[in-house]
């Protein structure tokens, strides 16, 4: 990357990073991410596309493949919509090694966190918790609600399961749940680690830019 294009591609990465940091914080705190958080990342993706030059074909293919996988998982309810958006956007990074290295970083962060949550018991099988606790804590993925002695399973689609529980809630009910991991935060952490590694590796090149 040289000249003006190099500066703009760095700006694109910083815009992506800003969105991923904000989205990660929101995901950890609330297990929910506002669509507005992704505006800087979308701007970064547009910049990357504009300056792709001779790599436009490669850029388009990697975004289509990774994005298609993410959107398919979201459509069938295997991941949340924000998770799919994060996968699409991480693939728009202009670096040729992306999204491989960001996703490797995400996998390392995810494994470390899941091992911890398993050790403390949160990620170890299903749990039954009071409805009040379920409504307060966004980290749980509902499997079924038990109200007045009747167990009712909810959708396996993570994008609608919580809404089903909220619609069927009643005083004294309990909810069978599993631990919901902050996938967006994993991807965000992996992307930040990737940028830090990339900037450190190419520090000399950046310093030589006019």
The DSSP symbol for 179 reads E
10 Å Cβ neighbour count for 42? Answer: 17
How would you label 95-126 residue by residue, b for 16+ Cβ within 10 Å and e otherwise? beebbebbbebbeebbeebeeeeeeeebbeee
Cα separation, 147 vs 163, whole angstroms: 16
Is 179 exposed, middle or buried, given 0-12, 13-18 or 19+ CB atoms closer than 10 A? middle
Residue 22: both structure tokens together: 């904000």
CA distance 93 to 68: 16
Please determine, for residue 7, whether its predicted confidence score (pLDDT) is greater than 90: no
Confidence check: pLDDT of 208 > 60: no
Q: How far, in Å, CA of 121 to CA of 125, rounded?
A: 8
pLDDT attached to residue 201? 78
DSSP string, 44-89: HHHHHHHT-GGGHHHHHHHHHHHHHHHHHHHHTTSS-HHHHHHHHH
pLDDT of the residue at 165:
94
Give the model confidence (pLDDT) of 145-196 as tens digits: 999 889 999 999 998 999 999 998 899 999 999 999 999 999 999 999 999 9
Tens of pLDDT, residue by residue over 64-107, are 999 889 889 998 888 999 999 999 999 999 888 889 999 999 99
pLDDT (0 to 100) of residue 162: 93
pTM: 0.89
- Burial zone of 147 (CB within 10 Å; 0-12 exposed, 13-18 middle, 19+ buried): middle
**Which of 23, 19, 17 has the alpha carbon at shortest distance from 183?**
23
**CA–CA separation, 31 vs 80, rounded Å?**
10
**What are the residue boundaries of the structural domains of the chain, listed by start?**
3-120+182-208, 127-179
Phi, psi of 98 (to 5 degrees): -90, 140
Cβ 189 vs Cβ 106: under 8 Å:
yes
């Amino acid at each position: 990357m040289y000249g003006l294009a190099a500066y703009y591609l760095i700006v694109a990465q910083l815009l992506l990073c800003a969105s991923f940091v904000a989205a990660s914080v929101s995901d950890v705190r609330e297990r929910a991410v506002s669509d507005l958080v992704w505006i800087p990342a979308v701007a970064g993706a547009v910049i990357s596309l504009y300056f792709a030059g001779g790599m436009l074909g490669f850029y388009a293919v990697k975004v289509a493949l990774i994005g298609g996988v993410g959107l398919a998982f979201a459509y069938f309810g295997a991941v949340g919509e924000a998770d799919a958006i994060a996968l699409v956007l991480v693939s728009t990074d202009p670096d040729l090694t992306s999204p491989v290295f960001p996703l490797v970083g995400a996998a390392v962060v995810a494994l470390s966190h899941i091992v911890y949550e398993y050790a403390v018991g949160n990620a170890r099988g299903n749990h039954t918790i009071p409805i009040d606790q379920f409504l307060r804590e966004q980290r749980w993925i509902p499997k079924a609600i038990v109200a007045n002695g009747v167990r009712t399973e909810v959708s396996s689609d993570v994008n609608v399961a919580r809404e089903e529980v909220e619609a069927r809630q009643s005083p004294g009910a309990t909810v069978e749940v599993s631990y919901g991991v902050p996938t967006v935060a994993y991807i965000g952490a992996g992307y930040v680690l990737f940028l830090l590694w990339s900037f450190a590796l190419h520090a000399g090149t950046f310093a030589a830019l006019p």
